[in-house]
Amino acid sequence: MFIIRPSSLFEIQRGMSRSLPRQHTFVRQKSSKSPLEAYELKVKEGKWKPDPYQEKAIFAVNGLYQELQAYTQPPVPKESFHLHSRGEEKTSVLSKFRSTLGKYASRFMASSRPFAPQIPKGIYLYGDVGCGKTALMDLFYNHLPSNITRSKRIHFHAFMLHIHQSAHHLKQVKGYGFDVIDYLSAQLASKCTVLCFDELQVTDVAGALILRRLFECLQKYGVVIFITSNRAPNDLYKNGIQRESFLPCIHLLNESLNVICLDSPNDYRRLKSETEDIYLHPAQDPLVKKQLQQWFERYGNIRGDPTHEVQLEVFGRTILVPKVSGDAAWFTFKELCGEPKSAADYISLANRFRAFIISDIPQLSIEAKDLVRRFINFIDAAYDSRAKVILSADVPVDLIYPTPEGYKPLQSSEISKKYTESGEHSKIASESNYHGNFAGVEEVFAFSRCLSRLAEMRKSDWFQN
């Protein structure tokens, strides 16, 4: 066991802070009102519509607010900032045995520690797309009690990128052989009493296992958690590979958080403001191609920065951006989603550019899960950074990928019906390198959420912002 030298700690913390993009963090707007008082005022002023489902949820949110008024987070134990390193031990058989035994013993002890005493029960708020989950979380976050001085609110994708980058940097500095998640949780807990995650989703076994350990450690250090998701805890990572390893995390969420279903039938992202004609079809129409060029010139800087390609470095890998001018980037769908890219890649792109042209999107079959998942990850990143996105596709955007029964079309139902009945669309893309066990169900659900976000991103006030 050793204590990190100040110089090493500076390198680690610098790597941690560098990995958290500003576009994905949210500035807290302090207020003397409670969340319930703020909600009632918004309804009274006509800014929000009365919604019995939201009213039920806001009472639970206000209950957490009241508990936090009397809550003091216990200090993080000093030993949590100590690391066990194999690099400083001898390489004898005995030392290797001791290292292995110590590693598993420390993990067992860490996982068996009780939660912080009298920690308020956080909230897990789930429901359909656009029903107001994020709005209620923001209401809570902006109206925390005055005694809560340390808080963070972040999109889940960006947070997991932060964890991966911090762990990668930490291992580069100090090697392996210690509990990285516990250490990072202690660092976070020392700066954060309330942590809000927006849009929790679990799509791979690595993320599932990290989440289990992460939530255990955060609760152990007294961090109060507020989560929004489109899925109930019991439906997270459903049919995923090695899901049994994730079941303890589901149990933890159900036991330690107040699980609330916000089952409002309204999609508020679709109910307000005028819209821009930015989702164009068919992609091969000369007029559509001309419109895309006009959008690119509008948000680029053709005279001062002629079109060129750019290479971005992410985790030591290179992402080629084929057409760039100013803060605008242009990809074909194949260039953006046709090759393996992670959420980190798309977040890096969204941090670099303010406008995107995505052309030649084909209609995808249910089997093209890898392609649509990458597209969803890109839209999530663009949405969180409030980037502008202009699309061209072979079919109306609603028909790019299958949607759940009862879905309300983003574009006119007449257009969607015409394309569905007449078959006037391009050859359906079916390429897939995804070998998960979701059978497309998870992607269909996620794509409906993606369409809800696209509905908000086409509003005039989004483009004027």
Are residue 242 and residue 391 in the same domain, yes or no?
no
Are residue 237 and residue 300 in the same domain, yes or no?
no
Is residue 52 included in any domain, yes or no? yes
Q: Among 65-69, 157-161, 361-365, which stretch is predicted with the lowest mean pLDDT? A: 157-161
Is residue 266 included in any domain, yes or no? no
Are residue 166 and residue 223 in the same domain, yes or no?
yes
Residues in a beta bridge with 224: 194
Q: Among 19-33, 307-321, 374-388, which stretch is predicted with the lowest mean pLDDT? A: 19-33
10 Å CB burial of residue 219 (0-12, 13-18, 19+) is buried
Domain C-terminal end among 261, 284, 315: 261
Q: Report the predicted TM-score, pTM, of the whole model to 2 decimal places.
A: 0.62
Q: Once rounded to an integer, what is the mean pLDDT over residues 68-75?
A: 94
Domain C-terminal end among 193, 227, 261: 261
Going by pLDDT thresholds of 50, 70 and 90, the confidence category of residue 269 is low
Are residue 247 and residue 295 in the same domain, yes or no?
no
Best mean pLDDT range from 74-83, 116-125, 326-335, 337-346: 326-335
Are residue 284 and residue 237 in the same domain, yes or no?
no
Pairing verdict, β 308-314 and 317-325: antiparallel
426-430, long-range: CB < 8 A, 24+ apart: 426/282, 426/283, 426/362, 426/363, 426/394, 426/395, 427/362, 428/362, 428/363, 428/364, 428/365, 429/362, 429/363, 429/364, 429/365, 429/368, 429/371, 430/364, 430/365, 430/367, 430/368
Find all residues with CB under 8 Å of 428, minimum gap 6, and list them. Answer: 362, 363, 364, 365
Are residue 279 and residue 356 in the same domain, yes or no?
yes
Q: How many other β-carbons are positioned within 10 Å of the β-carbon of residue 252?
A: 17
Q: Once rounded to an integer, what is the mean pLDDT over residues 248-269?
A: 84
Going by pLDDT thresholds of 50, 70 and 90, the confidence category of residue 83 is low
Are residue 256 and residue 279 in the same domain, yes or no?
no
Is residue 269 included in any domain, yes or no? no
Are residue 194 and residue 109 in the same domain, yes or no?
yes
Domain C-terminal end among 205, 229, 261: 261
Instruction: Check residue 354 and give its pLDDT.
Output: 92
Contact criterion met (CB below 8 Å) for 361 and 393: yes
Are residue 83 and residue 148 in the same domain, yes or no?
yes
Q: How do residues 41-64 score in pLDDT, each as one tens digit? A: 999 998 888 888 899 999 999 999
Q: How do residues 172-210 score in pLDDT, each as one tens digit? A: 777 777 788 999 999 999 999 999 998 888 877 777 888
Is residue 239 included in any domain, yes or no? yes
Q: How do residues 451-461 score in pLDDT, each as one tens digit? A: 888 988 888 77
What is the spatial distance between Cα 445 and Cα 129, in angstroms, rounded to a whole number? 10
Q: Once rounded to an integer, what is the mean pLDDT over residues 363-377?
A: 90
Is residue 451 included in any domain, yes or no? yes
Are residue 282 and residue 383 in the same domain, yes or no?
yes
Is residue 416 included in any domain, yes or no? yes
Instruction: Check residue 81 and give its pLDDT.
Output: 80
What is the spatial distance between Cα 168 and Cα 155, in angstroms, rounded to a whole number? 20
Beta strand extents in 62-193 (DSSP E only):
82-83, 122-126, 151-155
Is residue 270 included in any domain, yes or no? no
Number of domains in the chain: 2
Are residue 126 and residue 33 in the same domain, yes or no?
yes
Residue 73 identity (one-letter amino acid) = Q
pLDDT greater than 50 at residue 432? no
- Report the chain's mean pLDDT, rounded to a whole number: 79
Is residue 267 included in any domain, yes or no? no
The angle that helices 156-174 and 343-352 make with each other, rounded to 10 degrees, is 100
Are residue 349 and residue 378 in the same domain, yes or no?
yes
Domain that holds residue 170: 2-261
Closest CA to 40 of 125, 164, 143, 109: 143
To the nearest whole percent, how much of the chain has pLDDT over 70? 74
Residues in a beta bridge with 151: 194
Going by pLDDT thresholds of 50, 70 and 90, the confidence category of residue 422 is very low
Going by pLDDT thresholds of 50, 70 and 90, the confidence category of residue 440 is low
